[in-house]
Amino acid sequence: MMFVSGEVRRMKKYSEKIRFTLSRRCYNNLLMGLAKFNLIDEMEAVFTDMLIDKISPNNYTFNTMINVYCKVGKVMEARLYLSKMLRAGVTPETFTYTSLILGYCRNKDLGNARMMFKQIPEKGGRRSEAVYDTLIHGLGTDGHIDEAFELFRQMPDDGCHPTVRTYTILIDALCRLGRRSEAFNLFREMGEKGCHPNHHTYTTLIDCLCKEKKLEDAHKLFNEMSEKGLVIGVPTYNALIDGYCKEGKMDNAFTLLSLMESNGCNPETRTYNELINGLCKAKQVHKAMALFSKMRERRMSPSSITFNSLIQGQCRAGYFDNAFRLLMLMSEDDLEPDQWTYSMLIDTLFKEGKVEKGYAFFRSIKEKGTKANEAIFTALIDGHCKAGKIDIASSLLEEMIAENCLPNSHTYNALINGLCKEKKIHKAAMLVEEMIEKGLEPTIFTYTNLIDELLKNGHSDEEALMIFERMLSSGLQPDVCTYTVFIHTYCIQGKLRKAEDMMVKMINKGVLPDVVTYNVLINGYGNLGSIDGAFVVLKKMFSAGCRPSVATYSALLKHFINDTRVKERSNKDGGLVLAAASSSSMDISNVWKILDTETTLRFLEKMVEHGCTPNIDTYDSLIAGFCQGGRLEEAKNLAFYMNEIGLLPNEDIYTSLVGCCCKLGMYTEASTLLDNMISCGHLPPLESYKVVVCGLYDEGNVEEAEEVFSRLLRGDYHKDEVAYTILVDGLHKKGHADRCPKLLDIMEEKGRQPNNQTYSMLVEGLPDGAII
């Protein structure tokens, strides 16, 4: 449109023989085209040209100008055109008033929006469905849902009938307020009144269900859309994909992506962002990077959100150098790291124990002109607190305030947590009071921290319960961590009845126990010698859909082995050995060192007896435990047993086995397992390939190392990440830099050559301090 308006102006300027003038209709069409893209400056120029050509603007002209200003919330400018409209003798119509109501709503000026709505009949206009929808939307967006419904019920008085847009606006407002049941009642009502929901209505409800973690119901609605013949667009797919990603159900998310593509609906950057974020949260950053490569191949532009997700994923996985390298890729895409990017990197540096480097990085970004926000300062303060440097953390808080960056609840929580860890509970409590004085509300985390430290340091339960009651009186509802702190204390004290009562209380309050809660209770029963009680807790865990971890099985196995030993000794000694005395006879760290295959199979039988049928996750955790203990044969026996009963090893099991092989120096067997992974449709982590390739070079097995590297290039890995992980972090750091040229040649032969920056790093070597 810019080209068209510019070309028109050029034709007028250079037309000497004939006076070139557009008609009013042409001007109006040109203005409408520009308005679609909110090209206001160009519209102003066209409107001026119109006046110069002595073409009188009509109702259509003025409405276009008023509407475009109102769309972007510039009501003052819109009213100037309304004045011009009136001076030109053109009568405003319903569309004019609708635009002005829209402008007021965009500015959250509901008072003037209401007044304009009221004046429409007084000015000779008619309130249309569009007028009602615009004001209802403004009221609903601003949380005035009851007033929005009053207008909804008033519509028939003006001869208007609610449209699908009216219903969808109200359904959306109810969903955003968490009033899902009312939203679905309205959804049913619209169908009963013959108003058929459209794809916007369904997408709103699907998004609402996903946010409430009701994914099965969301998918049913998705299927209903398809059955009714509604066209399912990108926003609907995105809503459901995002729901699956947030719940870690990545297989479902990718199945939906395949369906999306097979139906001719092209994913957009947001779709990939949701998938990348989900993979990073699931600690599958290598797959996220592979998806990032696909984005590039499809010539899609990654956003700051894409890079922030990947940087956070690399940090979580412990691949810190790769996180910093992504900053370089950002600059190649003309994207600037934001304050959240820097806060993640600072936080990771401190978690890695690199306190000085974290602080130096903070100073370096400030020198570059980046203004530190509350997230950056909070990451710094939290890092220093965790490093036991409370004094520096306190001085950073003062610096933060001096720079007019106001601390938030998270900032104070970091300091409170630090003080609690130093057993300075009195100072922590004083800081809570300071928070309140400054108008900041303590959070659940604040209170839970205080409760935890009181209980850990031998204070009475009554003191902790007083904090608990104060938390409730402030309107905060305890979360799973708060309840687990109490349950843990009761288990340590041997008060299992109290622990169980607290568990019931939390469930009745709608707070579901997590894996830590169940682990604490399992240990509580095990320490009292009640192995059956521990298995009952495991059964509850299975029933609740909470996945047991390696720590869960470690605790259970410890008590199971102790219980078995006690019974064996009891049989020998005539039943004189007390079961409870066995609870401390074996350290949990020794479980995987002494556990054998026979005992493991008996343990699995015991699980079945208690109604806990072992599943793929069970075998995953048990094999991971064996592998952590370097017990490869036992891990392989269990994997073989899985196959016999019809369960195929998953990606995590293969990764554990590969890691164990590498730990034992069995690199050839590890490379075979990597091939097996790929043949089963899994994408092995690049870290596994790095260890295998480096190990083979260490052994002098050059040919096999190159073959393994060549095979990995068939996978969907990001080419630069391959170079960073295998060549830079692997060969360079392991003293095999001389092998890099050959592997670079292989990358080029396969068409997977890295970018220029990566080449430079490899050719020139890694200078000290180039990457933190």
Question: Closest by alpha carbon to 538, among 558, 561, 572, 515?
Answer: 515
pLDDT of residue 114: 95
Report whether pLDDT(436) > 80: yes
How far does Cα 225 stand from its chain's mean position?
A: 27
* Residue 729 belongs to a domain: no
**C-alpha distance from residue 661 to each of 158, 626, 653 (Å):** 77, 12, 12
For residue 546, the 8-state DSSP code is P
The number of distinct structural domains making up the chain is 1
Structure tokens at 313: 């994923």
Q: Are 84 and 62 in contact (CB under 8 A)?
A: yes
What average pLDDT does this structure show over 475-495? 92
Q: What mean pLDDT comes out for the span 666-678?
A: 95
Is 447 in contact with 470 (CB distance < 8 Å)? Answer: yes
pTM comes to 0.80
The stretch 322-345 carries a mean pLDDT of 87
pLDDT at 677 over 60: yes
- How crowded is residue 496: how many other Cβ atoms within 10 Å of its Cβ? 18
* Residue span of the structural domain in which 508 resides: 496-614
CA dist 587 → 239, 246, 527, 603 (Å) = 47, 37, 12, 18
User: Quick one: 642 exposed, middle or buried, by C-beta within 10 A (0-12, 13-18, 19+)?
Assistant: buried
DSSP at 575: S
**Residue-level pLDDT at 766:** 45
And the tokens for 470? 């104060």
579 within domain boundaries = yes
Domain for residue 431, yes or no? no
572 located within any domain:
yes
The two tokens of residue 103 are: 């402008």
- pLDDT at residue 764, as a whole number: 60
| Tens of pLDDT, residues 547-604 | 999 999 999 999 999 888 877 776 665 554 444 444 446 677 789 989 999 999 999 9
Q: What is the mean pLDDT of the chain?
A: 89
In a domain, 520, yes or no: yes
For the chain, give the percent of residues with pLDDT over 90: 67
Q: Which residue has the higher pLDDT, 463 or 17?
A: 463
Residue 515 in any domain: the answer is: yes
* 56-77: pLDDT as tens digits: 999 999 999 999 999 999 999 9
pLDDT digits (tens, 9 = 90+) for 175-225: 999 899 999 999 999 999 999 999 999 999 999 999 998 999 999 999 999
Angle between helices 496-508 and 480-492 (to 10 degrees): 170
Amino acid letter at 222? F
CA–CA separation, 167 and 189 (whole Å): 9
Does residue 157 sit within a domain? no
606 in a structural domain: yes
383: tokens are: 């890092």
d(CA 590, CA 598): 17
